[in-house]
């Protein structure tokens, strides 16, 4: 009798679980039916000229400019989603930025496709957003932007798009994390949603949805060693999209985020002791980009940023976030610790240039070397160059061949004698601060050997 009762209880529990799974499945079915018609496939084409260089141009020395010119069509695919019944479509800027033509295709409820010519209305390259417009003959289905600020790790997440050209592909996962700050392809994004919902090439620009079918993000990038989904995808949050939408609809260019042109590093106990700072709160200026607003205003390698516009700064990330929230053309007042004193410098911010040229690394010298703590150093322009490092050196994880040491614990080391004197007075157990050039870029590196 007891066995019959146990079997009946197990059957009832199994039936209950099956009912829960069926209810969940129906929710996803309903979400797919509601959302898919508003998700579009975007095909882009770009035409470019190229010269066909055949063997005779190499063997007979014929100038390349006489080679025939051909026109080539390049194509690509991406995803997007409709945000209004009159045909506004959101996608990634990197999907359409180089396109000469754009074809926007959506799937009707009856299974047939409808294609439209897409027109670029506005683009925000800094947030990787683009707004397109199609001219439909009827009202289009659309998706609503949800509240991404409420998203948290463990929430369901649904991605829809055209991975590898496979339109209307739906994948399900969860919000893996909300990244407060992450750099993707030289852009810094805030509050990015990380998901394990499968995202692949072709998903870019498609929506990331919550279980209510609202857009909480735009699928933008993946982390993958192979190029295929590895379960780590990133989406621009809807809260950031909403901020740019009005400007995009007006066709206005997005204002470039502010840029000062400094490389920053966190403070530690060694830096605090050697530089005579009151605390580890702040950000050390490792280097100043040549020709940057920071250089023009007078910021220097070794300055420590304590505040910006009167707001105390505790870390390099806080400084970067504050400056990035300002716009090119704004001014920012930097409160600094400089050589034991205080300074205040106003910097007129600009847009970040597309590329920043680094100074050439000093050429190695062939003069005699100095041995210290597993390092082999020799004289170089401005200091002592690291020629080699033993594997068992306590400095092996911090310095590298080619580094030019120009100072130790605040003492300049322009040559062998100054370097030897400085390191004799230093102790790795207490911590040593190296002032050096790496690929021509000034850096501070602090090293402290475990006691």
What is the CATH T-level fold of the domain 370-447, as seen in this structure? Pdz3 Domain (2.30.42)
Q: Which residues pair with 142 in a beta bridge?
A: none
Assess whether the region 262-348 and the region 370-447 belong to the same CATH fold.
Answer: yes
Please check whether residue 210 is in contact with residue 144, taking contact to mean a CB–CB distance below 8 angstroms.
no
**Long-range Cβ contacts of 304-308 (<8 Å, 24+ apart):** 304/267, 304/275, 304/277, 304/336, 304/337, 304/338, 305/264, 305/334, 305/335, 305/336, 306/281, 306/282, 306/335, 306/336, 306/337, 307/334, 307/335, 308/332, 308/333, 308/334, 308/335
Strand 215-222 to 383-389 pairing: unpaired
Residue 330 bears catalytic tag: no
**Selecting from 1.10.357.10, 2.40.10.10, 3.40.50.970, 3.40.50.1100, what CATH number does the domain 148-241 have?**
2.40.10.10
How far CA 226 is from CA of 167, 182, 194, 200, 201, in Å, comes to: 22, 21, 18, 11, 12
Question: What was the pLDDT predicted at 12?
Answer: 56
Q: Of 204, 287, 320, 350, which residue is the catalytic one? A: 204
Please check whether residue 86 is in contact with residue 140, taking contact to mean a CB–CB distance below 8 angstroms.
yes
Q: Of 128, 196, 303, 435, which residue is the catalytic one? A: 128
Q: In what order do the strands lie in the sheet with 129-133?
A: 113-117, 101-107, 39-51, 69-82, 88-91, 129-133, 119-124
Q: Which residue has the tokens 């190029």?
A: 227
Residue 186 bears catalytic tag: no
Give the distance, in angstroms, between the CA of residue 249 and the centroid of all CA atoms in the same chain: 25
DSSP string across 224-259: -SSSS--S-EEEEEHHHHHHHHHHHHTTPPPPPBPB
Residue 224 bears catalytic tag: no
The 10s digit of each residue's pLDDT in 100-139 is 889 999 887 777 888 999 999 998 888 889 999 999 988 9
Positions of the chain with pLDDT under 50:
356-366
Q: Of 79, 94, 196, 350, which residue is the catalytic one? A: 94
Question: What was the pLDDT predicted at 89?
Answer: 96
- pTM value? 0.64
Give residue limits of the domains in the chain.
36-133, 148-241, 262-348, 370-447
Question: What was the pLDDT predicted at 361?
Answer: 38
Question: What was the pLDDT predicted at 362?
Answer: 40
CATH code for the structural domain at 262-348:
2.30.42.10
What is the CATH T-level fold of the domain 36-133, as seen in this structure? Thrombin, subunit H (2.40.10)
């Amino acid at each position: 009798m007891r066995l019959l009762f146990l079997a009946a209880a197990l059957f009832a529990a199994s039936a209950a679980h099956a009912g829960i799974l069926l209810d969940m499945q129906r929710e996803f079915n309903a979400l797919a039916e509601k959302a898919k018609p508003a998700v579009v496939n975007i095909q882009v084409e770009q035409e470019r000229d190229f010269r066909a260089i055949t063997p005779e141009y190499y063997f007979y020395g014929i100038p390349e400019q006489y080679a025939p010119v051909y026109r080539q069509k390049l194509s690509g695919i991406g995803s997007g989603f409709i945000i209004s019944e009159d045909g506004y479509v959101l996608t990634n800027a990197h999907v359409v930025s180089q396109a000469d033509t754009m074809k926007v295709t959506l799937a009707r409820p009856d299974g047939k496709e409808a294609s439209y010519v897409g027109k670029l209305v506005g683009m925000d390259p800094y947030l990787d957003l683009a707004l397109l417009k199609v001219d439909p003959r009827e009202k289009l289905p659309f998706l609503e932007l949800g509240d991404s600020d409420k998203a948290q790790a463990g929430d369901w997440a649904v991605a829809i798009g055209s991975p590898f050209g496979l339109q209307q592909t739906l994948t399900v996962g969860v919000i893996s994390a909300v990244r407060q700050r992450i750099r993707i392809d030289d852009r810094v994004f805030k509050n990015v949603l990380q998901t394990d919902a499968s995202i692949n090439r072709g998903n870019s620009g498609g929506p990331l949805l919550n279980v209510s079918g609202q857009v909480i993000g735009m699928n933008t990038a993946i982390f993958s060693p192979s190029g295929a989904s590895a379960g780590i995808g990133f989406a621009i949050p809807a809260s950031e999209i909403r901020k740019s939408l009005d400007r995009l609809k007006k066709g206005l260019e997005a204002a470039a985020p502010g840029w000062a042109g400094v490389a920053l590093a966190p403070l530690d106990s060694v830096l605090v002791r050697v530089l005579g700072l009151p605390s580890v709160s702040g950000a050390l200026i490792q280097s100043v980009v040549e020709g940057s607003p920071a250089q023009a205003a007078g910021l220097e390698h070794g300055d420590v940023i304590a505040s910006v516009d009167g707001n105390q700064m505790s870390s390099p990330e806080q400084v970067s976030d504050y400056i990035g929230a300002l716009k090119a053309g704004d001014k920012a007042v930097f409160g600094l610790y400089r050589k034991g004193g205080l300074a205040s410098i106003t910097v007129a911010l600009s847009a970040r240039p597309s590329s920043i040229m680094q100074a050439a690394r000093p050429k190695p010298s062939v003069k005699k070397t100095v041995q210290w703590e597993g390092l082999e150093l020799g004289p170089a322009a401005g200091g002592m160059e690291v020629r080699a490092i033993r594997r068992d050196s306590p400095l092996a994880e911090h310095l590298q061949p080619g580094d030019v040491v120009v100072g130790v614990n605040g003492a300049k080391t322009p040559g062998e004698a100054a370097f030897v004197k400085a390191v004799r007075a230093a102790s790795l157990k207490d911590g040593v601060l190296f002032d050096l050039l790496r690929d021509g870029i000034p850096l501070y590196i602090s090293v402290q050997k475990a006691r």
